[in-house]
Amino acid sequence: MSFFNVDEIKKLINRNNSVLVVWDVQEALVNSIFNKEEFIAKLKELIESARKYNVPIVYTMITPFPDRFQPKIRRSFNPGDIYKEVYPKEGDVILRKNTPSIFVGTNFELMLRNAGIYSIVFTGIATDIGVETSARHAQALGFIPIVAKEAVSSTDKEAHERSLLNMQKLMLVLSNKEIVELWEK
C-alpha cells in the first residue's frame, strides 16, 4: 500500500526536471555488496540512458574528515575512488560529502533549485543508509524522490529489501525501464 497516487506523480516527471544521483559507488563499497555484477550492469544502463536524454548526473563521494575532526564515535573509513566502470565523464558533477544525506553540508539543494530540477532518481550504495536517508530528506524538502530499485544495493541483502519495501509506501520505487519511459516523454 502506498500513501500517494503513483500515476499522478509519474505525470510530473520528465528528463528536463530530473537528475540522476549515483550515491557512493566507490571501490570498497562496490566490492562489499551482495549483487555486484547485476548492480553494476543496471547502474551502467541507467547512466547511459541519463546521458542519452541529457539528464544531469551527480556522483557522491564519501570524503572523510581529517583525523583531528573525525567524530570519536566513528572510525575513519576511506572507501576509495569512484568505481572505474561507472566513472564520471566531463559535465558530470562530483559532490563530496560527509553525511548520509546528500543535503547536509553540500550545495545540492541550491544546485537543483537553480536548475529547476525537482525529481531526483537515486541509485547507488547503500539502499538502507544513504540512499534511503537522502530520498526521505528530498521528499521532506518538496522534491520528488525516485529510487531505482535495480540500481541500488547494500552489503546487507535483508536490509536492502526492507528499505525498498519501506520506501515504496512513501515514494516511487521503479525499475530502470519505468524510469527511462519517464525520461522519454
- Could you read off the pLDDT of 12-26 as tens digits, one per residue? 899 999 999 999 999
Residue 139 near residue 109, CB atoms below 8 Å: no
pLDDT digits (tens, 9 = 90+) for 95-145: 999 899 999 999 999 999 999 999 999 999 999 999 999 999 999 999 999
Asked if residue 1 is part of any domain, the answer here is: no
Cα 36 to the center of its chain, rounded Å: 16
Beta strand spans in 88-160 (E): 93-97, 119-125, 144-153
**If DSSP codes are grouped into helix, strand and coil, which group holds residue 150?**
strand
- Asked whether the predicted pLDDT for residue 1 surpasses 80, the reply is no
pLDDT digits (tens, 9 = 90+) for 26-84: 999 999 999 999 999 999 999 999 999 999 999 999 988 777 887 776 666 678 999 99
Number of independent structural domains in the chain: 1
Residue 22 CB coordination number (10 Å): 29
pLDDT at 158: 98
Q: Determine the Cα–Cα distance for residues 151 and 22; give it in Å rounded to an integer.
A: 9
Asked if residue 70 is part of any domain, the answer here is: no
Asked if residue 38 is part of any domain, the answer here is: yes
Specify the CATH number for the domain of residue 26. 3.40.50.850
Domain enclosing residue 25, as ranges:
6-63+79-138+154-183
Asked if residue 160 is part of any domain, the answer here is: yes
pLDDT at 135: 98
Residue 150 near residue 176, CB atoms below 8 Å: yes
Residue 97 near residue 133, CB atoms below 8 Å: no
pTM score of the predicted model: 0.94
Angle at 43 (CA atoms; ends 116, 164), nearest 5 degrees: 80
Asked if residue 179 is part of any domain, the answer here is: yes
- Asked whether the predicted pLDDT for residue 155 surpasses 80, the reply is yes
pLDDT at 67: 77
